[in-house]
A and B are shown apart, each in its own frame.
Chain A
Amino acid sequence: MIGEAFLSVSSIFQKRSRHEVMYQLYITGIKSLGVITVVALFTGMILALQTGLELRRFGQEVNIGTAVTVVMLREMGPFMTGLIIAASVGSAIAAQMGTMTVSEEIAALEVMSINPVRFLVMPRLIALMVMMPILTVYTNILGALGGAIVGSTQLGVAFTAYFDNATLYATNKDLYVGLCKAVLFGVIITTVACHQGFSAKQGAVGVGQATRKTVIISFLTILTVGYMVTRLFYQ
């Protein structure tokens, strides 16, 4: 299904497909900004507080900038974004696809010789593959900002010291490995959600099951793949 979706990427230049991709980008990116903002900001704040309190015992609280930034770039940024998108967008895709399946709309599309994968899966796949790294960058920025707020207000680390320290050990490798993970997570969420949606049976109960399974499988796969990518790049 995913291979077929990739093969039909060329149809993105058709007007209808372009509009659908843009709509999915809007749903995935702009509509998720609220929840992502809150989650990213507080993730950074929690990281800074927990790390900073421990580092303060050794008089090294100034290093929270490094700790928060590196952790956000390498792991927490793509991971938190993946979880949020899996829970919000992934579940929505599964619900939509499931409803369409149980109400035989998918079958109707096939009858009309419209490829459901190209028509439904491809725009969502493109939207998630593009928007996941974009949202991850946004999460990283807000996470680092949250850490800076906690550092400044609770740990006595000035903003300039925090950001000087933040860029001291973080590298482009950390940033781009994180973004690669985000792209992979986008593919995983779309695949799982569309697969579960297309596999939905038994009416509304089946749609609910598909939604629940999408979230669970996406979470587990994100965790597993996240570890594998980290293992691949940081040996």
Chain B
Amino acid sequence: MGIIMKTYTYTEKKDTRSGFGAGLAELGRTNPNVVALCADLIGSLKMDEFIKENPERFFQIGIAEANMMGIAAGLTIGGKIPFTGTFANFSTGRVYDQIRQSIAYSGKNVKICASHAGLTLGEDGATHQILEDIGLMKMLPGMVVINPCDYNQTKAATIAIADYDGPVYLRFGRPSVPIFTPADQKFEIGKAIKFTEGTDVTIVATGHLVWEALEASKALQEAGISAEVINIHTIKPLDDKAILDSVAKTRCIVTAEEHNHLGGLGESVARVLAQHNPTPQEFVATNDTFGESGTPAQLMDKYGLNSDAIQNAVKKVLKRK
């Protein structure tokens, strides 16, 4: 089966974390084994609806993320499907060894759901803006890593991971961003989605950068450059074939993500290309740096994570073909 081709239509703006909340609420109604845990961030994670409808299946852990990961691992013993909720920083770096031993190595069916990932958390600054979480989580054997791009995709991904037996890291964000994928989509773990067909350059993007890639492709089109935009929502397992098929045609690639260039999607793509079809690649990602306070838009501009940055990267990579 080839890559999934989808058209996209902008509808409105909404935060991806609300997509998680909506997906979790739906799971509460359809899957009696789904339970939810939160470390004192119910409102931020949009878990209210699930809790209201299923109070007995919700566990308020308090500000104790290590304990939350262990309890989640324990709840799987007895057939529960735990979804943990806290910020991405506290879902990964703070509890890495708990996830490594009690969840990943133990092969537990825990869904680690992480909001406020990346710079777009905004004003709280670098203590809360993790840009290393994809790298941390993809290095864990057996861990699935997903970074959906809008409200609808996040909702669909939340629902889909309940049916997958194994540990999953689901990463989403805080700001309102365009909704452009369909509300009725079926989410397939590990299957890339092609939003535009192109011949000059492949743009592979994840999370909030997918919309920026689509905006970039429009601008590039006007400049006579034909870009193929591929949404990699699942960083691990990576859809190698989708990437290789596209670069066989375009012969150059730009990767775009709200994450450090070390350890992110770009590096995963580079590994596949190095092994199978060495291809010029440019990275739209943060450059081994911490973030800082500011509005999401200011930060994405300052750290080079928007449509303009993608267009510049495309122009650069085209010269290297």
Bind each other:
no
Q: Chain A residues in contact with chain B, CB under 8 A?
A: none
